[in-house]
Structure 1
Amino acid sequence: MSTPQTKGPVDPRLLRLSPATRRWIFLAGILTALKTLSTVAMGLLIGQMTAGIIETPGSSLPRTELIALAIAVGARGVLAWAQDRFAERASTQVTVDLREKTLRHLAHSDPRTIDQALWRTRLTSGLDGLGPYLTGFFPALAATIIATPVMLAVVGWLDVGSMIIAIITLPLIPVFMWLVGTLTAGRTEQRLHDLAVLSGQLLDLIAGLPTLRAFRRHQDMATQVKRLSSQHASSTMSVLKIAFLSSFVLEFLATLSVALVAVGIGFRLLSGDLTLAIGLTVLVIIPEVYAPIRDVGTRFHDAQDGLVATDEVLKLLSTPLLIDAPSTLNRRSLAGGLEVSVEKLRAEGRDGPRPADLSFIASPGQLTVLWGPNGSGKSTALLAVLGLATEGISGEISVKDASGQEFKDSSLWEHCTYLPQRPVIDPESVSDYAELSLGQRQRLALKRELGATLLLLDEPTAHLDPENAAIMIKQLQEEARQGTTVLAVSHDPLLRAAADKVVEVK
């Protein structure tokens, strides 16, 4: 298991791939700068007004300064509200954008190489952790870059001695943050890995529960689930322990630093080297010098899940797609159709080649069925024709039209439709999508994809009763009669009986 690559607090890959992140960075910088100015105005006004009351007992508050203070406080409140509002909106946009791009990339990758349990965790609870990064960690980082230098400059303008103390104590917090961050990153990735293993095990257990109950072995899995749950709880607690310890130390360092400045101001007030107005103003502003850096350390742990998952997502998105498929299918038919020729196709795996030396020709106007037992490599053959399966693949595959022109990659996808065993239908176009059974989804997906020159189907009748399976088979036969090349994977005797050509897959 690899540790996340160090890309700095803001990953340049995220900026490059997510326009919403770039917009939020620009907006957060503006809001942080305005908040900093309002905070400085509040500090100066509070210091001056408090010193006037102390030095002149019984005097009333200056009306002009009181109105200015109210405006500064109101402005800071409005800016804080705007920052939270836009941060939540940006977080949602970035998360949805990354999920969409990642799913599209995975959909055009070799499914045999995808760890579904791990990616399920990364795209759900993992990317959900990106919210605290964008809404908490990033604004705190922006404040560190903008507010801390400005506040430090204001303190230096008021009192050089306090600025020197702040400059000496400030580096302690980033050094400790780096030490904690190095330790936390690896443990957070381990926690996500344990969660992925646990979720995958539970899903497998639920799927196989009827079989386990039939053989009275379902109780044996309880021990395994308890062990995985205990492992996940242990890794989670290790992260929480570090988070608690680091938060305590960060608060202690920030409080101690402010206390050192306050002690210095107190001694100089007693000696008469500093006015009360300046001393009070510095005491009001100096916590704001440390607050952004302290918040960065505190928010760092909240953002770790998102940063670890985002690092893996950005690694995936940085790799080129196997096929840059068009977003919409080109329905223009090709004269003469497309002929699929496969010669000695082999797909090496842990259990040997599946399929092994598979050869066939799927011609236009015919329903060709790849027939064989589960695990023989039928689905892999379809993926190889599409260009999605590349690892361990050997043999010759060509898709040509009547003139001999070869189609591959994106040019092939423009004239081809692939219907997997579990098709995904756009929920925006089907309001009751969640209510559809898997068989209904297959029928609806096939109906929408008819009209392509090449039709590839993986177990199209697997989830249908005989009556609906006969309806689908009739649709496939009619599509073949219109000149379409129909290539289906199946072990359904009904589809085999209706096929124009049956290819045994061993």
Structure 2
Amino acid sequence: MRRFLATSVLCGVLISACAISSAIVLARIVSAVITDPSTRSVAHWTPLLAILLALWTMRTAAHWWQARLGQRGVSAVIAELSGQVLAAVTARSPGRLAAERDEAAVVVTRGLDGLRPYFTAYLPALLLAAILTPASVVAIALFDRRATVLVAITLPLIPLFMVLIGLATAERSAAALAAMTTLQARLLDLIAGLPTLRALGRAAGPEHRIAELSAAHRRSAMATLRIAFLSALVLELLATLGVAVVAVSIGLRLVFGEMSLTAGLTVLLLVPDVYWPLRRIGVEFHAAEEGRATAEKAFTLIGEPAAEPARGHRRVTARGAVIGLERLTVAGRDGDAPHALSARIEPGRVTVLTGANGAGKSTTLAVIAGLTAPTAGRVTLDNVDIADLEPAEWWRQLSWLPQRPALIPGSVAENLALFGDLTDVASACAAAGFDEVMASLPDGPHTVLGRGGVGLSLGQRQRLGLARALGSTAAVLLLDEPTAHLDAATEQRALAALVERARAGATVVVVGHRAPVLAIGDRVIAVNNRGAVADARA
């Protein structure tokens, strides 16, 4: 925006010069026509009328050019801020990403559009007030000092009331943004869970809550509008009274012959330009306040550039390497989970992490994968800290299956190959029981899925994710509740495939607590958030 701001300042200087010059020229023409009948022909004033027309044209062109640059500049700013917010939020850890998702969605999709009136209306008005108002006061002082004193007395009242009104408007704008964030978050959750609600016959339930949130947002917006209209009325009244006081003073002095008609008309034409920029600031402030609040939220989401820990560039082959957990601690909302976890995860064996809900099992997998930074302790790969590894190189050697497999809109085949081509698609699908699902699909592997795997049941989505993990060539398999939503027969088949991968030399880490999952573990590690770690079976 630097070029836009510099050009806006130049446009403000040009607008101010044209406004003052046109007032002086117009006052001279009118006063001469009134006092001297011999100058009432148009031909006599042709040069000054041409100058007046040129000044008005230049002022109009400066306003147009300032508005045009403002539109182009704010479009670039919105695009840049949106990109920075997306880049910053998506680089967060999964926990922080889930917590900031709703705010980021509002800022990127709707909130930053509020910056448009800020840059196209409020900021030019602010620059013009900083240039035109002082210049007009100086010009008035050259023609009439008494009028200058009256202006100096009445002018500070407008900024004073603007500050008082602005404090109330800021709170209203923040409340409106919070209401909009809550409403959009509810709508996103409702749309995402609509298939489940329809299946349970509860699709009509949340509509009352959505109606309540909509009403709250409407009331907040109307309250802001009421303040905006009342503040505009107050500012207009103050400006009108200021101009009226100066006009009465000039009229009385003209009656008693204490000043010339040219000076009086010049001051009368210049006085509105003293108050007009300030009135415009007050009017545009309310429209721009929402954008300013959203910009602050955007900068909060972007945060400091050095917020994320620096990544290393070392490369280590994961196949055959031992993964070590050294007093691993991750601070969460409800305490440390896990807390001081120490263990060895060896290749060629199935390691099962078990424990109560909230103990930190899934968090441990995220730390091993390099997606979450530990609060204390570390994870090593053959005594090399995971944080020192090149992320892309480490992730290429991993196959991670979270509790909810990542599925994208597209065909089944595209979702199977989402993280790379599989070595043997048929064997992987058979081991996960997904071959039966593919046989029942209308277009087989070419069947198109919706967002989040819409078109498949929960069990079918789990089988697809499991097939993708089993078919990868990764040396390290991290699986979080891999047999959830599976029947007993399919579960046994999938667990046997995991044991086979471990016997082939892969490092298999499974999170589970059911007896069939614990049974395949060569080593079962009980994790809790109180720091106690028990090796149930080695």
TM-score normalised to the size of structure 1?
0.76
Q: Give the partner amino acid of 1:398.
A: V
Aligned to 2:247: 262
Structure 1 residue 103 corresponds to structure 2 residue 103? no
With over 3 angstroms needed to count, the CA separation of the structure-2 counterparts of 1:345 and 1:26, relative to structure 1, is same
Aligned to 2:139: 154
Structure 1 residue 415 corresponds to structure 2 residue 406? no
Deviations 1:447-504 (A, max 9, x none): 49xxxxxxxxxxxx98497897688447621x54xxxx56455626687635432423
Aligned to 1:203: 188
Q: Is the 8 A contact 1:341 1:399 kept in 2?
A: yes
Separation in structure 1 between the aligned mates of residue 50 and residue 205 of structure 2, nearest angstrom: 72
Separation in structure 1 between the aligned mates of residue 310 and residue 174 of structure 2, nearest angstrom: 32
Q: Give the partner amino acid of 1:437.
A: G
Separation in structure 2 between the aligned mates of residue 27 and residue 365 of structure 1, nearest angstrom: 68
Structure 1 residue 309 corresponds to structure 2 residue 294? yes
With over 3 angstroms needed to count, the CA separation of the structure-2 counterparts of 1:469 and 1:112, relative to structure 1, is closer
Separation in structure 1 between the aligned mates of residue 85 and residue 189 of structure 2, nearest angstrom: 24
Show the 5 A alignment for 1:114-125.
Answer: 114-125=99-110
Q: SS in structure 2 opposite 1:476?
A: coil
How far residue 345 of structure 1 moved from its aligned partner, in angstroms, is 4.5
How far residue 288 of structure 1 moved from its aligned partner, in angstroms, is 0.9
Structure 1 residue 446 corresponds to structure 2 residue 419? yes
Q: SS in structure 2 opposite 1:408?
A: helix
How far residue 171 of structure 1 moved from its aligned partner, in angstroms, is 0.6
Q: Is the 8 A contact 1:355 1:505 kept in 2?
A: no
Aligned to 2:379: 398
CA RMSD of aligned residues (A): 3.8
How far residue 148 of structure 1 moved from its aligned partner, in angstroms, is 0.9
Aligned to 2:510: 503
The structure with the largest alpha-carbon Rg is 2
Show the 5 A alignment for 1:278-427.
Answer: 278-323=263-308, 334=316, 340-343=323-326, 345=328, 347=330, 379-385=362-368, 389=372, 396-400=377-381, 404-408=383-387, 412-413=390-391, 415-417=393-395
Q: Is the 8 A contact 2:370 2:391 kept in 1?
A: no
Separation in structure 1 between the aligned mates of residue 77 and residue 118 of structure 2, nearest angstrom: 11
With over 3 angstroms needed to count, the CA separation of the structure-2 counterparts of 1:375 and 1:300, relative to structure 1, is same
Show the 5 A alignment for 1:475-486.
Answer: 476-477=472-473, 479-480=474-475
Show the 5 A alignment for 1:47-86.
Answer: 47-57=27-37, 58-60=40-42, 61-86=44-69
How far residue 351 of structure 1 moved from its aligned partner, in angstroms, is 7.1
With over 3 angstroms needed to count, the CA separation of the structure-2 counterparts of 1:502 and 1:316, relative to structure 1, is closer
Separation in structure 1 between the aligned mates of residue 350 and residue 15 of structure 2, nearest angstrom: 68
Separation in structure 2 between the aligned mates of residue 261 and residue 152 of structure 1, nearest angstrom: 12
Deviations 1:368-402 (A, max 9, x none): 99899998856533443466545xx56633244x6
Unaligned runs of 5+ in 1: 1-19, 425-434, 449-460
Separation in structure 2 between the aligned mates of residue 68 and residue 239 of structure 1, nearest angstrom: 44
Q: SS in structure 1 opposite 2:136?
A: helix
Separation in structure 2 between the aligned mates of residue 444 and residue 283 of structure 1, nearest angstrom: 76
Q: SS in structure 2 opposite 1:109?
A: coil
Aligned-residue sequence identity (percent) comes to: 32
Separation in structure 2 between the aligned mates of residue 255 and residue 131 of structure 1, nearest angstrom: 29
Q: Is the 8 A contact 2:340 2:377 kept in 1?
A: no
How far residue 214 of structure 1 moved from its aligned partner, in angstroms, is 3.4
Separation in structure 2 between the aligned mates of residue 422 and residue 256 of structure 1, nearest angstrom: 68
Separation in structure 2 between the aligned mates of residue 52 and residue 365 of structure 1, nearest angstrom: 104
Separation in structure 1 between the aligned mates of residue 411 and residue 292 of structure 2, nearest angstrom: 35
Q: SS in structure 1 opposite 2:379?
A: strand
Aligned to 2:74: 91
With over 3 angstroms needed to count, the CA separation of the structure-2 counterparts of 1:442 and 1:84, relative to structure 1, is farther
Q: SS in structure 2 opposite 1:133?
A: helix
Separation in structure 2 between the aligned mates of residue 185 and residue 174 of structure 1, nearest angstrom: 16
How far residue 70 of structure 1 moved from its aligned partner, in angstroms, is 1.9
Q: Give the partner amino acid of 1:49.
A: I
Deviations 1:329-363 (A, max 9, x none): 98x96567786433564556567876677666677
How far residue 44 of structure 1 moved from its aligned partner, in angstroms, is 1.5
Aligned to 2:17: 37
How far residue 158 of structure 1 moved from its aligned partner, in angstroms, is 1.5
How far residue 54 of structure 1 moved from its aligned partner, in angstroms, is 2.1
Show the 5 A alignment for 1:165-184.
Answer: 165-184=150-169
Separation in structure 1 between the aligned mates of residue 350 and residue 255 of structure 2, nearest angstrom: 98
How far residue 149 of structure 1 moved from its aligned partner, in angstroms, is 0.6
Q: SS in structure 1 opposite 2:206?
A: helix
Q: Give the partner amino acid of 2:41.
A: S
Q: Give the partner amino acid of 2:255.
A: L
With over 3 angstroms needed to count, the CA separation of the structure-2 counterparts of 1:469 and 1:380, relative to structure 1, is closer
Structure 1 residue 437 corresponds to structure 2 residue 415? no
Separation in structure 1 between the aligned mates of residue 200 and residue 392 of structure 2, nearest angstrom: 48
How far residue 436 of structure 1 moved from its aligned partner, in angstroms, is 4.8
Residue-pair matches, total: 451
Q: SS in structure 1 opposite 2:73?
A: helix
Q: Is the 8 A contact 2:117 2:287 kept in 1?
A: yes
Aligned to 1:28: 8
Which piece of structure 1 moves more, 227-236 or 411-420?
411-420
How far residue 202 of structure 1 moved from its aligned partner, in angstroms, is 1.7
Aligned to 2:128: 143
With over 3 angstroms needed to count, the CA separation of the structure-2 counterparts of 1:335 and 1:46, relative to structure 1, is same
Separation in structure 2 between the aligned mates of residue 73 and residue 364 of structure 1, nearest angstrom: 82
How far residue 155 of structure 1 moved from its aligned partner, in angstroms, is 1.0
With over 3 angstroms needed to count, the CA separation of the structure-2 counterparts of 1:198 and 1:244, relative to structure 1, is same
Which piece of structure 1 moves more, 86-95 or 489-498?
489-498
Q: Is the 8 A contact 2:329 2:338 kept in 1?
A: yes
Deviations 1:225-283 (A, max 9, x none): 22212111111111111111001111111112112111111112212222222222222
Q: Give the partner amino acid of 2:76.
A: Q
Deviations 1:408-460 (A, max 9, x none): 27x54363448897989xxxxxxxxxx95396775676349xxxxxxxxxxxx
Deviations 1:104-162 (A, max 9, x none): 22223334232322332233322211111111111111111111111110111121122
With over 3 angstroms needed to count, the CA separation of the structure-2 counterparts of 1:339 and 1:40, relative to structure 1, is farther
Separation in structure 1 between the aligned mates of residue 349 and residue 56 of structure 2, nearest angstrom: 76
Q: Is the 8 A contact 2:133 2:273 kept in 1?
A: yes
How far residue 405 of structure 1 moved from its aligned partner, in angstroms, is 4.4
TM-score normalised to the size of structure 2?
0.72
